[in-house]
Amino acid sequence: MTVRYVARCACGNVELELTGAPVISLVCHCDDCQAGSRLIEALPGAPAILDAGAGTPYLLYRNDRVHGTKGAELLEGYRLKSDSTTSRMVASCCNSAMLARLPSVLHWTPVYRDRIVPPAQPLEMRIQTRFVPADVAVPADLPSVTGVPLRFFTRLIAARVAMTLRL
């Protein structure tokens, strides 16, 4: 039996179906994730995204396991720069951050963890903590690394192999 999760915007007009377990569940503290989250949080009525440590919680799913099931036409992309290859997709009905669209050569989709209908997978780690502002303390609730650990890349490679083999 395949596990299915739903990611839903705050007002319920947009839903994504997430099939299977995520590749990894993490909090990213990189400067782009912080800037993207602040951009979306500044939209009228937008739900909070950044956690107490200035990080953005995500579940990373294989691209073939993320499907829009309701309100896909309401998703609107936000880019940090006009030439950015990453687009943060927001439900325009309630300004809920839903997922990030990465360059097409990448095989994973970050889904904003707070949009997952509980219970979401537990968080596993904090990455890119070197970007945390000096006046913000990184919570000690998870293993934290200043960069990106080997475990992260190992999981992404395993997900790519599984996608290729259609597992």
Q: What pLDDT does 2 receive?
A: 81
Q: Kindly state the average pLDDT of the residues 134-163.
A: 95
**Cβ distance 59 to 118 under 8 Å?**
no
Q: What pLDDT does 1 receive?
A: 61
Cα gap 39→15, rounded to integer Å? 22
The whole-model pTM stands at 0.95
The 10s digit of each residue's pLDDT in 16-32 is 999 999 999 999 999 99
Q: Which structure tokens are listed for 94?
A: 């309630």
Nearest CA-CA partner of 24 in 145, 164, 166: 145
Q: Kindly state the average pLDDT of the residues 107-114.
A: 97
What are the residues whose beta carbons fall under 8 Å from the beta carbon of 167, sequence distance 6 or more? none
Distance from the Cα of residue 146 to its chain's centroid: 19
| Torsion angle of C-alpha atoms 114, 99, 34, 105, degrees rounded to 10 | 140
Cα gap 107→133, rounded to integer Å? 30
Q: What pLDDT does 166 receive?
A: 84
pLDDT of 113 over the 90 cut: yes
Cα gap 79→101, rounded to integer Å? 10
The 10s digit of each residue's pLDDT in 58-87 is 999 999 999 999 999 999 999 999 999 999
Percent of the chain with pLDDT over 70: 99
Q: Indicate the length of the chain as a whole number.
A: 167
Q: What pLDDT does 94 receive?
A: 98
Residue-averaged pLDDT of the chain: 96
